[in-house]
Amino acid sequence: MKKIWDYIVHDMPAELIVSLFVMLIIAIIAIILGHAIKKADPTKAPKGLAFVADFLVEHSMNSVDGTLGTAYEKFVPYYIFLILFIPLCFVSGLFSLPSPIMYFSIPLTLAIVSFLGIQISSIYYNKWSYLKGFTDPLPPWLPILAPVNLLGKIAPILSLSIRMFGNAIAGYMLMTLVYWGTGTLSDSIINALHLSANGINFVGVFVAPFLHAYLDIFSAFIQTLIFVTLTMLLISVEIPAPVAKK
């Protein structure tokens, strides 16, 4: 236990620590909402936290059902986790915390989990026809396209992870340049006015909030929408037409 604690304190990347903290927040939210929905009167319309819980679950189920069919409601917990985890990771930068999304292992892990969900669903519903997909559109006995199709199967890991990682890095670099530029401009104005207040970035106060609103908040929801939508669509491509729950 001491070695684990020493690793967390001294060696674990700060982004991983923040990601654990984000997951702790999600767990607390789940406990609070679960407690609220248990206490709610089932004969009345939910209110307060019970309404939030009901809306979150209903929205997630409708999204999954509309894309995949009611048989795939097992993906709803993962869907809910994604729509909570990704935005919170992006927004953590607003609190001067390192964004977990900028640690490539985290977007990569999310992409691998989505990839496994895609492939396991395809194997479960297609059975042996899953292997035939590696030779399409040629006959099964002519596997000349197998390497190309194999790359196509693996491609979502890179596309899902690199897209999110690249957007986070681009936003961080842009804000770094903005703070440098506004800081330099602020110092120039202060020196021109012969004031003794160097180091105060007063120009950035008027510029940065609007960029943070776009790069940290708006972009967070856009990247979440893209990641979740692509995951659901890629699953729908690999499985038969949407089916109803048995």
* Mean pLDDT computed over 193-197: 69
- Residue the block writes with tokens 């894309």: 67
pLDDT at 198: 66
Domain residue ranges in the chain: 2-238
Judge whether 2 and 93 are in contact, CB under 8 Å: no
Judge whether 107 and 230 are in contact, CB under 8 Å: no
127, 132, 133, 135 alpha-carbon torsion, rounded to 10°: 170
pLDDT of residue 112 exceeding 90, the answer is: yes
Q: pLDDT by residue (tens digit) across 51-108?
A: 888 888 888 888 888 777 776 778 888 889 999 999 999 888 778 788 899 889 999 9
Determine whether 31 is exposed, middle or buried from the number of CB atoms within 10 Å of its CB (0-12, 13-18, 19+). exposed
Residues 6+ apart with CB under 8 A from 13: 98, 103
Q: pLDDT by residue (tens digit) across 120-144?
A: 888 887 777 767 766 666 666 566 6
Report the predicted TM-score, pTM, of the whole model to 2 decimal places: 0.81
- Residue 22: pLDDT band with limits 50, 70, 90: very high
Q: What distance in Å separates the CA atoms of residue 117 and residue 149, rounded to the nearest whole number?
A: 18
For every residue of 70-116, DSSP letters joined together read: GGGGGGHHHHHHHHHHHHHHHHGGGGTPPPGGGSTHHHHHHHHHHHH
- Residue the block writes with tokens 């890179």: 158
